[in-house]
């Protein structure tokens, strides 16, 4: 099994131990009377925040139910039928794809520039204390922000690492051809890199998007062939032990999973709102903890001379992900700048039929927010994913696109994308492609 232990200072350190079998101890994790997934569903956010420092942990302990905040928020439930699982992507048809194509070719004298927006996967962990490389999560004495570099991931997700599965000197096949192959040898979280959230990923109350029961997020599927792999586990220190198991059944979404946008594909007119350059430092980066408001989105569009149209795909650059690859910059996983909730923002997204919002941070929104003197945790996930069926694209690399847009003043383009088609998944990696007109000869 693979266990997490705590040092004398209280930091989580990794201790590997491999066993086979289906028995494990839960210890004091509190899940003896309920399923482990139900337990994590109730306290997972608290654990994640506690792993990221004492201030976020205190904030989530004092947070208010998002259901109260969103009681009168607009929704799209039933708009495309009682059985709809595609959500706001119903708004992107051939006309919207055409508008995106026209955006790519109608302006500029320098041809078409092509950008891929997926952040590379290096396998490097961003440590709160680089001098203690085995420390995964901080405590009171070892805390964020950090100037270490690596792959950003929402705790307790960790970066994926790949390795060769073939010998160093492979034997040639018939005809003399040699090859090398590889696989992920550590957990590869589907939402641990640039990814799209499925509509069933986040919810409040007992219903996910379009009124489907929250229980549809844990539907069991049985397989005819048993494989060996990681069983029912989570990478949270102290929540039982991780173990190798025989996998012949899994739980997943039977409604509103990521295969819906993967089957459909995403294409439309995209618009970049470079809030980092409008309100940030001389490198175009917002400071840690910065709250991006609806008014600032509008001011950024006005300053750029960018028209936002109905059914546009919105990308918001804060400069956050660039910090994770800069050894001179500080970064904190749950201290990133991001969008903050307001009635005006949600109503504008609904009125404009915005189907898709992406950003260069872990959650699109600021994780912990104070609204009318009350503390809430990721309220826009409820307002957008659950209620409106609007997709969220997180951990985008917008650095090159942002620089090109700033150089020639053209912030609209053709945006195309499709997440990895993983059946029943709550999210999946994605590599969006942007075709942008250039005004630079």
Residue 96 CB-density burial (10 A; 0-12 exposed, 13-18 middle, 19+ buried):
buried
Q: What is the mean pLDDT of the chain?
A: 85
Token duo for residue 319: 């400069």
pLDDT tens digits, one per residue of 149-174: 999 999 888 899 999 998 777 777 76
pLDDT tens digits, one per residue of 361-404: 999 999 999 999 999 999 999 999 999 999 999 999 999 999 99
Q: Which domains does the chain have, with CATH numbers?
A: 1-441 (3.50.30.50)
Compute the average pLDDT of residues 300-317.
Answer: 98
Rg (CA), the chain: 22
Residue 268 near residue 92 (C-beta atoms within 8 A): yes
The SS3 call for residue 104 is helix
Region of 211 on the Ramachandran plot (φ > 0 left; ψ -120 to 50 alpha; else beta) = left
The SS3 call for residue 138 is coil
pLDDT tens digits, one per residue of 329-368: 999 998 999 999 999 999 999 999 999 999 999 999 999 9
Residue 157 near residue 28 (C-beta atoms within 8 A): no
41-45, 259-263, 405-409, 435-439: which has the minimum mean pLDDT? Answer: 41-45
Compute the average pLDDT of residues 230-259.
Answer: 76
φ, ψ for residue 68, nearest 5 deg? -70, -40
Percentage of the chain exceeding pLDDT 90: 68
User: Confidence band (pLDDT; 50, 70, 90) for 106?
Assistant: confident
Q: What is the pTM of this model?
A: 0.87
The per-residue pLDDT for 377 is 93
Token duo for residue 434: 């942007």
Indicate whether 422 pLDDT > 60: yes
């Amino acid at each position: 099994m693979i266990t997490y232990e705590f040092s004398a200072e209280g930091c989580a350190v990794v201790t590997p131990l491999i066993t086979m079998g289906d028995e494990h101890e839960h210890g004091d994790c509190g899940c003896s009377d309920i399923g482990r997934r139900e337990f994590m569903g109730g306290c997972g956010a608290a654990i994640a925040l506690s792993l990221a420092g004492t201030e976020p942990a205190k904030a989530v302990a004092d947070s208010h139910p998002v259901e109260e905040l969103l009681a009168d928020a607009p929704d799209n439930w039933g708009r495309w039928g009682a059985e709809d699982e595609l959500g706001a992507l119903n708004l992107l048809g051939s006309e919207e794809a055409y508008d995106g194509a026209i955006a790519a070719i109608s302006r500029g004298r320098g041809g078409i520039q092509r950008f891929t927006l997926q952040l590379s996967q290096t396998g490097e962990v961003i440590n709160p204390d680089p001098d203690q490389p085995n420390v995964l999560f901080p405590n009171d004495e070892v805390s964020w922000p950090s100037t270490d570099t690596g792959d950003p991931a929402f705790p307790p997700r960790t970066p994926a690492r790949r390795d060769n599965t073939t010998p160093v000197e492979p034997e040639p096949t018939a005809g003399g051809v040699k090859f090398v192959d590889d696989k992920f040898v550590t957990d590869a979280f589907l939402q641990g890199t640039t990814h799209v959230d499925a509509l069933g990923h986040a919810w409040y109350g007992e219903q996910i998007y379009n009124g489907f029961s929250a229980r549809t997020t844990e539907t069991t599927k049985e397989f005819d062939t048993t494989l060996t792999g990681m069983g029912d586990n989570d990478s949270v220190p102290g929540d039982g032990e991780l173990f190798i198991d025989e996998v012949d059944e899994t739980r997943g979404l039977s409604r509103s999973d990521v295969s819906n946008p993967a089957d459909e594909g995403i294409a439309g007119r995209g618009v970049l709102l470079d809030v980092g350059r409008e309100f940030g430092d001389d490198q175009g980066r917002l400071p840690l903890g910065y709250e991006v408001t609806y008014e600032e989105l509008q001011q950024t569009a006005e300053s750029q001379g960018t028209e936002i149209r109905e059914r546009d795909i919105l990308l918001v650059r804060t400069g956050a992900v660039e910090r994770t690859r800069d050894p001179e910059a500080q970064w904190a996983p749950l201290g990133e700048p991001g969008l903050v909730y307001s009635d005006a923002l949600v109503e504008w997204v609904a009125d404009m039929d915005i189907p898709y919002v992406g950003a260069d941070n872990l959650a699109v929104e600021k994780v912990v927010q104070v609204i009318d003197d009350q503390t809430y945790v990721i309220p826009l996930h409820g307002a957008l994913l659950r209620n409106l069926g609007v997709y969220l694209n997180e951990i985008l690399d917008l650095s090159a696109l942002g620089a090109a847009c700033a150089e020639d003043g053209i912030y609209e383009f053709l945006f195309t994308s499709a997440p990895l088609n993983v059946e029943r998944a709550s999210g999946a990696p994605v590599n969006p492609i942007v075709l942008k007109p250039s005004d630079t000869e």
